[in-house]
Structure 1
């Protein structure tokens, strides 16, 4: 058994490490995920529907509480619709600010 390391094996290891160090690591972050158009569309639909449903539920609950059945239901449904549209526009603005994804040679669909 030799106590000294093999110089050829050390050189080979150093060369392999140098090759690995030379490669840049791909940068990934949670905010850098690229969403497909379908995912963005569903997100916007869900945001709009959630605004309408929450507004309608709040209006109905207040109507039952105060006994003014159609009035607050209509008002809060419209407010929920406006909030959903505003949220959708914010999402569209956020998606427009992101840089366009680089083509990777694959295409969606046929």
Structure 2
């Protein structure tokens, strides 16, 4: 019998493989918070755009209304439109400052988990059970 089996217990090898797969799956889990983070950033971006457009529209509306009442076209409309833009920018900057104050930088936990899984694989050997490298 020239064929020799390197590991007499294939069930043990299967269990080891399942453990390694579970570790790799656990290392890949942080995908959901990243997507939630992306959606919250998109919501904040829309909030800032809305604040800017609202400031512009309100300033334009007030200026246009006063110009119509006072007959001073277009000076009050231009003045209040510029004031509306400035107000919108200030509100946007305040929102950005709040976002920056609440920001917690993400830890590189995913990278560390991948490194730990790699080191665990090295400790267990090459997976061939005979301690020799694949040729």
The 3-state SS of whatever aligns with 2:83 is helix
Alignment of structure 1 residues 56-67 onto 2, 5 Å: 56-67=60-71
Distance in structure 1 (CA, Å) of the matches to 2:60 and 2:100: 30
Structure 1 or 2: larger helix share? Answer: 2
2:41 is the alignment partner of 1:37: yes
Q: TM-score, normalised by structure 2?
A: 0.49
Confirm or deny that 1:71 pairs with 2:80. no
Aligned equivalent of 2:102, options 86, 98, 108? 98
- Count of residue pairs the alignment pairs up: 73
Q: Secondary structure at the match of 2:94?
A: helix
Q: Distance in 2 between matches of 1:86 and 1:99?
A: 20
Higher RCO (CA-CA < 8 Å; seq separation 6+): 2
Runs of 4+ off more than 4 Å: none
Listed as ranges, the gaps of 5+ residues in structure 2 are 1-36, 111-135
TM-score by length of 1: 0.59
Q: Larger Rg: 1 or 2?
A: 2
Q: CA RMSD in A?
A: 2.3
